[in-house]
Amino acid sequence: MNSRRFFLKKLSLLTFAGTASSHALSASSCKKKLTPSQSLGPFYPDNLKIEKDADLTQLKGHQKKAKGQLVKVSGIVQDQFCNPIEDAIVEVWQACYSGRYNHPSDTSKEKLDPNFQYYAMMKTDLKGEYSFKTIRPGAYKASLNWMRPPHIHYKVSLRGYKTLITQLYFNGDKLNEEDGILNSLSLKEKKLVIVDFKKDNQGVLSGKFIITLKKN
């Protein structure tokens, strides 16, 4: 009886060790490249006491919706070992359909959209997931010879991790090829911030942006 107990105990220890080593191997083989940082830009909201839910396409109390092509963005915030990060704060801000920001520093003569939210803040769930609804932002002139492609600004933060400021770009947009900010990244880094969007039968674009943070 004692020898049988010893055998079962030894077997359970071996099984545990095997499982632990497989988990360790899985974690080590799951290293992800950190999402590259990009400039904050001059249009980060100067007033955060504004509506900031995850639907930028319609303001509370407004019957009309924002102009532009509807876009649904989802994603995961994780560390470099693929562990999901819960309660990370994800902030996004962007231009409206005309390419203008709702910010005093934007002196563009393009029209603002009174029905567009321009900014959102959300937290990741237990699985590190987040999502929001918006419109495809318009391109705009950054200088006489430079048109910025459609992009969405991100700021992702949580205590214990290095705050990330970056930008999401739309795959296939021709202006990507000429953008100085995007092309300051390496080819591999660019692939991490350029997102594939697919259009459904109703014309809605859906894409997934995975963000990888570094621990402090």
Q: pLDDT tens digits for 184-197?
A: 999 999 999 999 99
Query: What are the tens digits of pLDDT across the range 9-43?
Result: 444 444 444 444 444 444 446 788 999 999 999 99
Residues in the chain with pLDDT < 50? Answer: 4, 6-28
d(CA 24, CA 27): 5
Q: Which long-range contacts (CB under 8 A, 24 or more apart) does 166-171 make?
A: 166/35, 166/36, 166/37, 166/38, 166/193, 166/211, 167/38, 167/193, 168/73, 168/193, 168/195, 168/209, 169/193, 169/194, 169/195, 170/136, 170/194, 170/195, 170/197, 170/207, 171/195, 171/196, 171/197
pTM value is 0.87
The residues assigned a catalytic role are 101, 140, 148, 151, 153
Please provide residue 155's backbone torsions phi and psi, each rounded to the nearest 5 degrees: -135, 120
